Amino acid sequence: MLSDIDLNPQTLQPYFVIPQLQCLLTGTDTNTFQQLSEYASKLPWLNVMGKVINTREARHYLQEFDIDSLFWDAVTVTEEEMESFLKKKGDKVLTIVVASPEELAACNFKCDVFSFLRKPVSFEKFFNALSYAKTYLHSTANKSVSIPVDY
């Protein structure tokens, strides 16, 4: 029966490894990114690699670390800076823009943004965006997870 299966991560560890998603927070809105950091601490498969305030610092992190996802505060950079950065970053890094409704209305990015989160960001929206990002990244990498079944 399904109810008899122990889904404790420590019990499942010998069978498969849950890959960590590495993310970078980029922006100057300390309240929003403090909230996102708190949300991230609740997800064992998410690792915040750093918090930066501009594209120059973000570019450094992307060169030095294996970053999977970027959270951008929409007011941190101009549209031109964002577009230039996103075109150079490569396809592997998924970008999630965090913005107020007014900021979202003003966003007119002409390049790929994986997701938009409206401020204030709820844990549910944060979790859903990252879960989808994680699923997308792992499916595009053609990685499959095998879970042994004991008959």
At residue 150, the pLDDT reads 35
At residue 144, the pLDDT reads 45
At residue 127, the pLDDT reads 93
| pTM of the full structure | 0.74
At residue 110, the pLDDT reads 58
At residue 52, the pLDDT reads 92
CA distances in angstroms from 78 to 28, 83, 106, listed in the order given:
13, 9, 11
The answer to whether 96 and 69 are in contact (CB under 8 A) is: yes
First to last CA, the chain: 12
The answer to whether 115 and 132 are in contact (CB under 8 A) is: yes
Alpha helices in 73-121 (DSSP H): 79-89, 101-106
- pLDDT tens, residue order, the chain (151 aa): 444 555 555 554 544 455 789 999 998 888 998 999 999 999 999 999 999 988 889 888 888 988 889 898 887 777 777 777 777 766 578 888 888 877 776 666 656 778 889 999 999 999 999 988 888 887 776 544 433 333 2
The answer to whether 137 and 22 are in contact (CB under 8 A) is: no
The answer to whether 46 and 69 are in contact (CB under 8 A) is: no
